[in-house]
Amino acid sequence: MADRAACGGGCAGGVDIDLQMAFQPIVDLPERRIHGYEALVRGPNGEGAAWVLAQVTDANRYAFDQACRVKAIESAASLGLDRRLGINFMPNAVYHPEACLRLTLAAAAEHGFPPELITFEFTEDERIGDHAHITAIIETYRRHGFITALDDFGAGFAGLSLLADFQPDKIKIDRHLVTNIDADRPRQAIVQGLVVTAKVLGISLVVEGVERPQERDCLLDLGIGQFQGYLFARPAIGRLVAEDEISW
C-alpha cells in the first residue's frame, strides 16, 4: 500500500490535514479504453501515501477510513467521473460492514455519484487475522452492488491462502510479479497460473506497476487485458487523465 490510500482532508480522530486526490487510469488494452480510475492520496504539497498513512493510528483508523471514502467520492463526482472508481479501504477499520457503508452511500447520494461504479480495494499488505470478517465485508458490499478487489496481490502476507478463504470480484497483481516478467520464467509461470485460477473462480485480473512495453506485451500474451502503470499514465492530482493522453 506504499502508493495507495484514499483519504480526505479533515479526517476525524486527530488526522486533520488538507489532502489532495490523484487519479490513475486503469486501461482495457484490447478495447483501447479507460476502464476506470483508482483514487490515490497525496499530501498538501504532493506528499505520497506513505506520508499520509504515517498520520494514522489505532485511535483514528475508523474515522480516517470513513473520511477517505467520502473524499474519494466527492472528488470523483466533482471531476465528472463516469467510469469505475477504485477506493482503498482498511479491512481492520471496518467494525460492522453494514454500518460502515452508511456514510459511503450517503456521500454517493449527496454528490450524485452512482454507487454501482464503486470498486472497494483492500490490500493483502495489511495483515488480516479474521478471514470470516473479511468474507462478511465482501458479501455485504456485494449485496449493495459494490465490487471488491484484492489489491497488491503477490506482495503481502497471505497470497493464495487468502484467496482460498474468500474470493473478491477482482485481483490486482502487484508490481513485484510484473517487473521484468518478459525475461523471468518463474514470474511468467506464476502469472499464467493466476490467469487460469481467476478464470475458474470467475475473478477478473488487473496488472499493476507496468512500466515497460516488453512487460505489457508479455502480459498480453499471458491473457491479461487490464493494466495500470506508468507506461500508460501517471496519477494526476485533481484531474482525470483523458483517453487521448494514454500511451497505448
Residue 156 is predicted with a pLDDT of 60
Which residue numbers are catalytic?
Answer: 208
Residue 21 is predicted with a pLDDT of 86
Q: Is the pLDDT of residue 4 over 60?
A: no
How much of the chain, in percent, has pLDDT values that exceed 90?
A: 54
Lowest mean pLDDT among 13-17, 60-64, 83-87, 183-187: 13-17
Q: What is the mean pLDDT of residues 49-57?
A: 81
Residue boundaries of the structural domains of the chain: 20-235
Q: Is the pLDDT of residue 3 over 60?
A: no
Distance of CA 188 to the CA centre of its chain: 23
- Angle subtended by helix axes 131-143 and 97-111, to nearest 10: 40
Question: Which of 145-154, 164-173, 177-186 tops mean pLDDT?
Answer: 177-186
Q: How confident is the model at residue 226 (pLDDT cuts 50, 70, 90)?
A: very high
**pLDDT by residue (tens digit) across 92-130?**
666 677 777 888 899 999 999 999 999 999 865 555 556
Overall fold of domain 20-235: TIM Barrel (3.20.20)
Written as nine digits, the cell of 97 is 460492514
Mean pLDDT (the chain) is: 85
- HSE-up of 23 (CA within 13 Å, CB side)? 26
Residue recorded with cell 479504453? 33
34 contact partners, CB below 8 Å, separation of at least 6: 25, 26, 27, 28, 83, 241, 243, 246
